[in-house]
Amino acid sequence: MTAKATSSTPAGSGERLGRRGWLILLAVVVAVNIPLLIRPFRPLPEAGVPLPFADDFSDPRTVASHYHSLGGFPRVVNGELLSPGTKNNPLWLKATLPDNVSVEFDAHAPSQDGEIRVELFGNGYDHLSGYELVYAPWNAVGVTGRLPATLVRLDENAPTLQRWQEKARLAGVSSLAAVGYGPNSGVRVEGPPVSIEPGRVYRMRVERRGDTLRWWVDGQRLLEFRDPLPLRGPWHDRVGLSSVEGDVYYDNFRVTPLDAAPFAAEAMVPELGPGPSSDDFERSALGRDWLATDPTAVRLDNGVLTVEHAHNHPVWLRRPIPEDTTIEFDAWTESPEGDIKVEAWGDGRSAHAGAPEAAYDATGYVFVFGGWKNTKSVLARQEEHGPNVAERAAPRVEPGRRYHWLIQRKGGNISWSIDGIPFLTLNDPSPLRGPSHAYFAFSGWESPVHFDNLRIR
């Protein structure tokens, strides 16, 4: 008897699914894509709030009256707007932005998990429908340390502006459009590295005039982007305040139309040319050559720079210093606790973040004379308590005595002399180099410390 032939080949997917299976699959696909399917038919988001507009969030009813959101429960708490880790659900202002506009606000986060994020020229519904300002280290997987403040166009994972420009250069063209930049292209414009100092209030302002966006933080220009194809029109005319995982508080929010006049020439921070520097501080204000990360801790008195209660918030010289250079200045304090401190070859804008008692990790080399209540002096590579530290216990700082410091670097060899006598040296096998390690700063902890007659050559 002949056995009935059977096939070892499984039935095709159509035979397995059947009519009912295909209907279920189609229903799932439609359900998943409902947001995309209905997007072209959505009405423009509610508007009607006139400009200029200002809000100090003193009235809890302002959220319902002047804004709308799709989730996250943003609300007024103690006279500020709380964006409680809304996972990129902005609170959108019910106003249409003109092409030329200024947006200002104060922002702070109670922890380093807070990310200050603002959507500008978005559609009033969706995250990343316009430009996004990101101030804080991004919570990127596998990434640690300070990351740059960033202005994003449409896509956080897009190529950087430098990548687009390099692509055009290699192609021998000057236009980004010639290498594929179009209306829906994403781009990331990266500024200097930043970190969130918990509780610190940052004053921010962003303006657009014509095709150019500029962003300022605490009065200093952080970055600029000239967009070859500016986002504008009915679906690119809203502004929203947002956050991701951590809480962020906003206050003193102001939106003001501008005229179409182009931006005046203005230097970014830090962006002064390299070269020899000197300062005798014979004036009444620090001026544009210096960036005080805590302005309340710095003053000029009778031609002397005084730093007091700085708690590792440096006063950065905005002009980059050469890698191999000589730095000299006078320094003294009347305090028996000593603690005369400077940083060299740092990033030009960072300061201590977190609890005051926590360890401070600098961005450059740290020089401390009479630290830890005048018990020791150190020359450290970034970490004062780390493995790459030279230290000594004597001599101690004598209150009122004026000291002349001399710091010299050649490659990874750093030497420090006081009053012409060698004090400490450090040989770094992996020396700090590059634009993130090119700035000098005066600093301190509690003691009032005085500095004068700076010379860098």
pLDDT in tens, 109-160: 998 788 999 999 999 999 999 999 999 755 443 344 456 789 999 999 999 9
224, 257, 290: which is the final residue of a domain?
257
Which of 38-42, 49-53, 237-241, 445-449 bottoms out in mean pLDDT, i.e. has the lowest? 38-42
Residues 190 and 287 in one domain: no
Structural domains of the chain, count? 2
**Amino acid 12: pLDDT:** 46
For residues 244 and 293, membership in a common domain is answered with no
pLDDT of 277 reads: 80
Instruction: Please indicate, yes or no, if residue 8 is contained in any of the structural domains.
Output: no
> So what's the pLDDT on residue 30?
61
In terms of domains, do 335 and 394 share one? yes
Domain CATH number, residue 381: 2.60.120.560
Query: In this model, does residue 10 exceed pLDDT 80?
Result: no
Q: Which residues contact 419 (CB under 8 A, 6 or more apart)?
A: 403, 404
Evaluate whether residue 272 is within a structural domain: no
Look at residue 51 and tell me if it is in a domain: yes
Shared-domain flag, residues 140 and 171: yes
396 and 430 in one domain? yes
Residue range 352-368: mean pLDDT, rounded: 79
In a domain, 200, yes or no: yes
Do 71 and 165 lie in a common domain? yes
Q: Are residues 126 and 167 in the same domain?
A: yes
Which of 257, 290, 308 terminates a domain? The answer is: 257
Of 204, 229, 257, which residue constitutes the final position of a domain? Answer: 257
Contact residues for 227 (Cβ-Cβ < 8 A; gap 6+): 153, 211, 212, 213
What span, in angstroms and rounded, lies between the C-alpha atoms of 423 and 444?
Answer: 19
CB 296 within 8 A of CB 311: no
**Averaged pLDDT, 239-251:** 95
- Residue 5, pLDDT > 50, answer no
In a domain, 23, yes or no: no
Structural domain that includes position 147? 41-257
Task: Based on the fold, state whether residues 223 and 345 are members of the same structural domain.
Answer: no
Query: Are residues 316 and 445 both part of a single domain?
Result: yes
Does a structural domain hold residue 9?
Answer: no
In a domain, 321, yes or no: yes
Q: Are both 201 and 295 inside the same structural domain?
A: no
**383 shares its domain with 412:** yes
Burial of residue 327 (number of CB atoms within 10 Å: 0-12, 13-18, 19+): buried
Residues 242 and 288 in one domain: no
The token pair that represents 30 in the structure block: 């439609």
Residue 134 lies in a domain: yes
